[in-house]
């Protein structure tokens, strides 16, 4: 078997899960001192391939060469010993330990801890890569960005020269992304090989040197960034020509369905997380909500669905105040929330149950008697599969085995099926590939056309600007302004997200 | 030799059966070696165990009598476990059910038999249910750890009966012997086809619980709540009420078993009324995968194991400890096999090629 001369070389890698060919003879070459992006739709095999490079999965066949030496990893430890480390989407840190303790965990040299010496070594690495981590800080006090830096530092300390970053920007604010990119460039200068998995085309175009496109378990092509463009990459990824623009439909009516005023709520520690929120929403309108992660979006969503205790304020839905009512009453009035948390399954779906039971979740209240009726739910499940093109072996398959995009479709399909008048949807495209994103935008636009009022919470400013009628910015539990999405700019939104008040109130 | 554990994906029903059967075979093999050491023929001993459990009408009846409380209590435990509420308090709920039922049995001896028995069943359910409500309330309101609370409440229940037995309820005619008076014939469950009516009650419960857990709205809510609290909240499930309700049912069913044991088996209330069956039923509920039909099968097999090993003691003069050892060995393998339904062991580095060969 010929190996490439590249620093990391993966040849003919095949991995089968059950009957699914996850990677089918994939090849990948990554050089030292390069940032190599892996681009592909959900289920293209990006994560599987990287999990094999980092020793989490074992390939069924194929060869992995690091520095011209064939390696067989049977655990992440083997991989890190060969200099390959992976930064996962879900951080593997111990909350109640400090940064330093997390780095040293399991890294004892000899019998005793040698904190002093090791700390000096860690500080050297921080200097070398321009990484800023407060070693004394506890992980539970850290922001997502800080945790990520710590995770990177930990991996570098363990001797990684090949770093795999699995969708690192998915959880970051735009500011944190800038910092991350600076660190990645520094790694590249220091001769590391950096593999960057992302869905976001603009980020790939900004940071990568070369891009490898994967599709359905196969390597399609590796291209130099200078010699390609987003359109071409997307088409390679999807396998057919595609229109990347997001359509915005004109507003249908001016009929106000939701009026929220002076909404206040406290979290468990008694800190005010919603500070007098005030906005209204029309039928057939998409109102976007932008904000840095953790600014109160989750609490707002839950409050509007009756799931979060409200201290004071009004939620007028078609003239009726719903504040203080229980979730069942919100549901019965046609308010529907689909909140996609980071783990996708935390709220709204039951992972171990099949599609039928998950659809039943929203229906069983409406039927008479003490028994549940699964037949109508099964019919609905089949409809949703057809309508939204859900990839699943069948309606009685546990949904945890579906891919993220398909899980999202099930959730959205179910929510839309209840024919809501107000749809609250948070992060519906989180972690999805372009093709599925566009599909979901289409679905939302269709609902808009029907006159559904949509509250669309998102982190991706491009989609907010492209899809919404108005954008409301929330910062630290406060509304800093509502702007017309046709006129707003990213810079303006960015400043508002950081707390700058905007007086020009769009209606 | 180097080996590693790898998490298995979902396994099929068939693979599951193969694993369980392998475990049983290995258990019989290992216990067989032990029996050989005792100087006996393992095959003969095993046949004798079967014989002891099912060999005659009388033995079969005894096995069924052992199985009845196991089935009922497992059904009760399954309700709580489905909600991921780890109810270790079945023992106490059995005892309190027996206590409530005994109160009626001892104080209304002259009531018509059917009325008294029905009243005792209701009281048994109520007693167990109320005892189950306490930890449920603590958990639902303050988030206490239900494992600890239910477990500790078993001892409270037990001590309460000890107090009654040595104190206020002590039989004045027992010449100082600490025992609660026997029930009158009115308060004793009649036999039906050779075994007390408990078996009919158990079978009716199996059917009811099957439909309750699989097809009722409450059963569905319990399952959803067990899988995800947030999702349940989101679907409009009243969390507080659901936790209380299902623990009332769970404890109530265990309480029924208490009534049956006191009435039909002990013919009175005593500290031995539960005798650890509340703990054993955790095993049978779990091995029965919390599913009503499987619980019946597992409970009967478990009862057969108990009866069979007690039979070989007398038949071969094996000591009680040795018989327990055989019983423990079989349990060890069967329970241990659960591990292999979730993980597989791979050796050395050969697995790199093995996957490939399997395909070709």
Residue A172 pLDDT more than 80? Answer: no
pLDDT tens-digit series, residues A102-127:
988 877 666 666 778 888 889 999 99
What integer pLDDT is reported at residue A2 of this predicted model? 42
Render B92-122 in DSSP notation, one character per residue: HHHHHHHHHHHHHHHH-TTS-HHHHHHHHHH
- With contacts defined as CB-CB under 8 Å, which chain A residues touch B216? 370-372
Whole-complex ipTM? 0.81
User: Average pLDDT for residues A215-243, to the nearest whole number?
Assistant: 86
Question: 81-110 in B: which are within 8 Å (CB) of A?
Answer: none
Domain ranges within chain A, ordered by starting residue? 8-238, 256-284+307-468
Q: For residue A261, what are the β-bridge partners? A: A314
What integer pLDDT is reported at residue A200 of this predicted model? 78
Question: 14-53 in A: which are within 8 Å (CB) of B?
Answer: 16-18
HSE-up of residue B253 (Cα within 13 Å, Cβ side):
29
- B236 in contact with A, Cβ within 8 Å: yes
- With contacts defined as CB-CB under 8 Å, which chain B residues touch A16? 355, 359
**CA-closest candidate to residue B188, choices B242, B244, B81, B113:** B113
Helix axes B292-316, B320-342, angle to 10 degrees: 150
Residue from B84, B210, B214, B352 to probe the interface with A (highest A Cβ count within 10 Å):
B352
**With an 8 Å Cβ cutoff, are A347 and B234 in contact?**
yes
Helix axes B57-82, B217-227, angle to 10 degrees: 70
pLDDT grade for B360, boundaries at 50, 70 and 90: very low
The stretches of chain B forming alpha helices (DSSP H) are 13-37, 42-54, 57-82, 90-107, 113-142, 146-166, 198-215, 217-227, 229-234, 239-260, 277-287, 292-316, 320-342, 351-359
Q: For residue A424, what are the β-bridge partners? A: A337, A455
Residue A339 belongs to what H/E stretch? Answer: strand A335-339
Three-state SS at A458: coil
Look at A294 and B266; give whichever has higher pLDDT. B266
What integer pLDDT is reported at residue B85 of this predicted model? 96
Three-state SS at A215: strand
The average confidence (pLDDT) of chain A is 85
**With an 8 Å Cβ cutoff, are A371 and B215 in contact?**
yes
What integer pLDDT is reported at residue A108 of this predicted model? 61
Minimum-distance CB partner of B356 among A60, A360, A364: A60
pLDDT grade for A1, boundaries at 50, 70 and 90: very low
User: Average pLDDT for residues B235-242, to the nearest whole number?
Assistant: 91
pLDDT tens-digit series, residues B95-108:
999 999 999 999 99
CB count within 10 Å of CB B57 equals 9
- With contacts defined as CB-CB under 8 Å, which chain B residues touch A347? 228, 230-231, 233-234
Given phi > 0 = left and psi -120 to 50 = alpha, else beta, which region is A321? beta
Least confident of A62-66, A260-264, A290-294: A290-294
Map out the domains of chain B with their CATH numbers.
1-40+318-360 (no CATH), 65-312 (1.10.3470)
- B11 in contact with A, Cβ within 8 Å: no
What integer pLDDT is reported at residue B348 of this predicted model? 54
CATH domain A8-238 topology: Rossmann fold (3.40.50)
User: Average pLDDT for residues A448-455, to the nearest whole number?
Assistant: 90
Q: For residue A165, what are the β-bridge partners? A: A87, A196
User: Average pLDDT for residues A222-240, to the nearest whole number?
Assistant: 87
In this structure, are strands A256-266 and A272-282 parallel, antiparallel, or unpaired?
antiparallel
What integer pLDDT is reported at residue B354 of this predicted model? 42
- A371 in contact with B, Cβ within 8 Å: yes
- B355 in contact with A, Cβ within 8 Å: yes
* Closest residue on chain B to A339 (Cα): B234
Q: Which two tokens stand for residue A498?
A: 């950081």
- With contacts defined as CB-CB under 8 Å, which chain A residues touch B233? 307, 327, 347
Residue from A61, A77, A365, A397 to probe the interface with B (highest B Cβ count within 10 Å):
A61
pLDDT tens-digit series, residues A127-148:
988 888 999 999 988 888 888 9
Chains A & B: contacts with CB separation below 8 Å: 82
**With an 8 Å Cβ cutoff, are A16 and B9 in contact?**
no
| Identical fold between A8-238 and A256-284+307-468 | yes
Render A1-68 in DSSP notation, one character per residue: ----SSSEEEEEEEEEETTEEEEEEEEEEE-TTEEEEEEE-TTSSHHHHHHHHTTSS--SEEEEEETT
Residue A447 belongs to what H/E stretch? Answer: helix A434-449
- A366 in contact with B, Cβ within 8 Å: no
How does DSSP classify residue A296?
S
pTM of the model: 0.76
What integer pLDDT is reported at residue A29 of this predicted model? 92
Residue A81 pLDDT more than 60? Answer: yes
Three-state SS at B142: helix
- A353 in contact with B, Cβ within 8 Å: yes
Residue A338 pLDDT more than 70? Answer: no
What integer pLDDT is reported at residue A112 of this predicted model? 64
pLDDT tens-digit series, residues B155-213:
999 999 999 999 999 998 888 889 999 999 999 999 998 899 999 999 999 999 999 99
pLDDT grade for A238, boundaries at 50, 70 and 90: confident
- A365 in contact with B, Cβ within 8 Å: yes
Question: 161-180 in B: which are within 8 Å (CB) of A?
Answer: none
In this structure, are strands B191-192 and B3-7 parallel, antiparallel, or unpaired?
unpaired
Angle at A481 between CA A476 and CA A482, to 5 degrees: 125
A239 vs B300: CA distance, rounded Å: 59
B198 vs B261: CA distance, rounded Å: 9
Residue B251 pLDDT more than 60? Answer: yes
Task: Report which listed range, A67-81, A381-395, B52-66, is most confident.
Answer: B52-66
- A74 in contact with B, Cβ within 8 Å: yes
User: Average pLDDT for residues A315-342, to the nearest whole number?
Assistant: 78
Minimum-distance CB partner of B349 among A74, A345, A352: A74
**With an 8 Å Cβ cutoff, are B236 and A75 in contact?**
no
Task: Report which listed range, A59-73, A328-342, A393-407, B65-79, is most confident.
Answer: B65-79
pLDDT grade for B37, boundaries at 50, 70 and 90: very high
B301 vs B63: CA distance, rounded Å: 9
User: Average pLDDT for residues A21-25, to the nearest whole number?
Assistant: 86
- B14 in contact with A, Cβ within 8 Å: no
What integer pLDDT is reported at residue B356 of this predicted model? 39
- With contacts defined as CB-CB under 8 Å, which chain B residues touch A20? none
**With an 8 Å Cβ cutoff, are B227 and A350 in contact?**
yes
Distance from CA of B251 to the nearest CA of A (A): 21
Sequence-separated (6 or more) residues with CB below 8 Å from residue A58: A52, A73, A74, B351, B352, B355
Helix axes A355-363, A374-388, angle to 10 degrees: 110
Task: Report which listed range, A165-174, A297-306, B201-210, is most confident.
Answer: B201-210
B23 vs B44: CA distance, rounded Å: 20
A435 vs A439: CA distance, rounded Å: 6
- B15 in contact with A, Cβ within 8 Å: no
Residue A162 pLDDT more than 90? Answer: yes
What integer pLDDT is reported at residue A416 of this predicted model? 82
What integer pLDDT is reported at residue A344 of this predicted model? 59
- B290 in contact with A, Cβ within 8 Å: no
* Closest residue on chain A to B236 (Cα): A328
Q: Which two tokens stand for residue B182?
A: 């026997």
CATH of domain A256-284+307-468: 3.40.50.300
- B240 in contact with A, Cβ within 8 Å: no
**With an 8 Å Cβ cutoff, are A370 and B217 in contact?**
yes
A234 vs A147: CA distance, rounded Å: 31
pLDDT tens-digit series, residues B100-151:
999 999 999 999 999 999 999 999 999 999 999 999 999 999 999 999 999 9
Look at B9 and A168; give whichever has higher pLDDT. A168
- With contacts defined as CB-CB under 8 Å, which chain B residues touch A378? none
* Closest residue on chain B to A340 (Cα): B231
**With an 8 Å Cβ cutoff, are B236 and A328 in contact?**
yes
pLDDT grade for B353, boundaries at 50, 70 and 90: very low
Minimum-distance CB partner of A361 among B4, B9, B235: B235
Residues A336, A418: contact at Cβ < 8 Å?
yes
Residue A346 pLDDT more than 80? Answer: no
**Residues A459-478: b if buried by 16+ CB within 10 A, e if exposed:** bbbebbbbbbbbbbbbbbbb
Q: For residue A65, what are the β-bridge partners? A: A9, A70
**With an 8 Å Cβ cutoff, are B216 and A351 in contact?**
no
- B57 in contact with A, Cβ within 8 Å: no
Distance from CA of A36 to the nearest CA of B (A): 27
pLDDT tens-digit series, residues B291-333:
999 999 999 999 999 999 899 998 888 888 888 888 888 889 9
What integer pLDDT is reported at residue A40 of this predicted model? 84
pLDDT tens-digit series, residues B47-69:
999 999 999 999 999 999 999 99
């Amino acid at each position: 078997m010929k190996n490439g001369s590249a620093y990391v070389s993966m040849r003919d890698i095949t991995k089968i899960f059950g009957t699914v060919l996850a990677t089918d003879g994939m090849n990948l070459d990554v050089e030292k001192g390069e940032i190599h992006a892996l681009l592909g739709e959900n289920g293209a095999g990006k994560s599987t391939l990287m999990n094999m490079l980092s020793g989490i999965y074992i390939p069924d066949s194929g060869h992995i060469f690091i520095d011209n030496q064939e390696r067989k990893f049977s655990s992440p430890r083997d991989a890190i010993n060969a200099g390959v480390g992976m930064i996962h989407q879900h951080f593997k840190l111990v909350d109640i330990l400090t940064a330093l303790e997390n780095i040293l965990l399991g890294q004892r040299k000899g019998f005793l801890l040698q904190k002093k010496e090791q700390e000096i070594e860690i500080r050297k690495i921080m200097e070398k890569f321009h990484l800023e981590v407060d070693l004394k800080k506890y992980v539970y006090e850290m922001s997502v960005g800080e945790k990520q830096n710590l995770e990177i530092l930990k991996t570098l300390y363990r001797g990684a020269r090949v770093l795999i970053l699995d969708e690192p920007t998915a959880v970051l604010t735009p500011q944190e992304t800038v910092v991350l990119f600076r660190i990645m460039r520094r790694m590249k200068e220091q001769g590391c090989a950096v593999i960057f998995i992302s869905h976001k085309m603009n980020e790939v175009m900004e940071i990568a040197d070369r891009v490898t496109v994967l599709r359905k378990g196969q390597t399609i092509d590796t291209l130099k960034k200078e010699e390609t463009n987003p359109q071409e990459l997307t088409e390679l990824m999807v396998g057919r020509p595609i229109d990347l623009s997001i359509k915005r439909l004109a507003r249908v009516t001016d009929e106000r369905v939701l009026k929220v005023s002076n909404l206040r709520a406290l979290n468990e520690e008694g800190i005010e997380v919603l500070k007098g929120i005030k906005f209204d929403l029309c039928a057939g309108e998409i109102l976007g909500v932008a904000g840095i992660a953790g600014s109160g979006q989750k609490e707002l969503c839950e409050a509007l669905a009756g799931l979060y205790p409200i201290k004071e304020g009004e939620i007028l839905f078609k003239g009726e105040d719903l504040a203080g009512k229980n979730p069942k009453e919100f549901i019965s009035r046609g308010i529907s929330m689909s909140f996609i948390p980071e783990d996708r399954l935390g709220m709204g779906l039951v992972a171990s149950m099949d599609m039928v039971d998950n659809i039943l979740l929203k229906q069983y209240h409406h039927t008479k008697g003490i028994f549940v009726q699964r037949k109508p739910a099964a019919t609905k499940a089949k409809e949703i599969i057809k309508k939204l093109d859900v990839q699943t072996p069948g309606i009685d398959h546990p949904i945890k085995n579906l891919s993220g995009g398909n899980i999202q479709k099930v959730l959205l399909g179910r929510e839309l099926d209840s024919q809501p008048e107000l749809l609250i949807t948070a992060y519906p495209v989180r972690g999805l590939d372009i093709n599925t994103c566009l599909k979901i935008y289409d679905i939302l636009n269709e609902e808009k056309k029907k006159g559904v009022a949509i509250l669309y919470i998102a982190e991706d400013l491009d989609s907010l600007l492209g899809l919404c009628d108005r954008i409301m910015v929330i910062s630290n539990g406060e509304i800093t302004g509502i702007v017309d999405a046709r006129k707003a700019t990213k810079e303006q939104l960015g400043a508002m997200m950081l707390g700058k008040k905007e007086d020009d109130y769009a209606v | 030799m180097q080996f590693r554990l790898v998490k298995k994906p979902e396994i099929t029903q068939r693979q599951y059966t193969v694993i369980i059967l392998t475990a049983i075979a290995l258990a019989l093999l290992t216990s067989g070696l032990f029996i050989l050491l005792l100087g006996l023929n393992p095959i003969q001993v095993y046949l004798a165990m079967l014989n002891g459990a099912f060999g005659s009408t009388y033995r079969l009846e005894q096995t069924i009598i052992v199985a009845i409380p196991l089935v009922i209590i497992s059904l009760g435990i399954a309700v709580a476990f489905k909600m991921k509420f780890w109810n270790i308090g079945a023992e106490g709920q059995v005892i309190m059910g027996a206590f409530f039922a005994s109160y009626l049995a001892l104080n209304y001896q002259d009531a018509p038999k059917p009325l008294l028995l029905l009243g005792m069943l209701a009281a048994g359910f109520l007693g167990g249910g109320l005892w189950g409500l306490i930890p449920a309330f603590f958990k639902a309101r303050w988030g206490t750890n239900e494992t600890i609370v239910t477990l500790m409440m078993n001892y409270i229940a037990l001590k309460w009966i000890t107090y009654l037995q040595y104190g206020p309820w002590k039989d004045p005619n027992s010449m100082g012997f600490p025992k609660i008076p026997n029930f009158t014939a009115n308060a004793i469950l009649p036999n039906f086809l050779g075994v007390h009516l408990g078996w009919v009650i158990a079978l009716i419960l199996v059917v009811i619980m099957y439909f309750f857990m699989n097809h009722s709205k409450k059963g569905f809510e319990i399952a959803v709540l067990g899988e995800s609290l947030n999702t349940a909240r989101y679907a409009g499930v009243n969390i507080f009420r659901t936790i209380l309700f299902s623990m009332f049912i769970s404890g109530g069913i265990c309480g029924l078993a208490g009534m049956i044991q006191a009435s039909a088996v002990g013919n009175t209330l005593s500290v031995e009324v539960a005798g650890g069956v509340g703990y054993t039923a955790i095993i049978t509920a779990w091995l029965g995968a919390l599913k009503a039909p499987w619980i019946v099968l597992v409970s009967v097999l478990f009862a057969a194991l108990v009866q069979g090993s007690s039979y070989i003691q007398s038949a071969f003069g094996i000591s009680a400890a040795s018989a327990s050892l055989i019983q423990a060995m079989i349990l060890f393998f069967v329970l241990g096999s659960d591990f292999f339904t979730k993980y597989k062991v791979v050796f050395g580095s050969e697995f790199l090629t093995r996957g490939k060969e399997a395909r070709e």
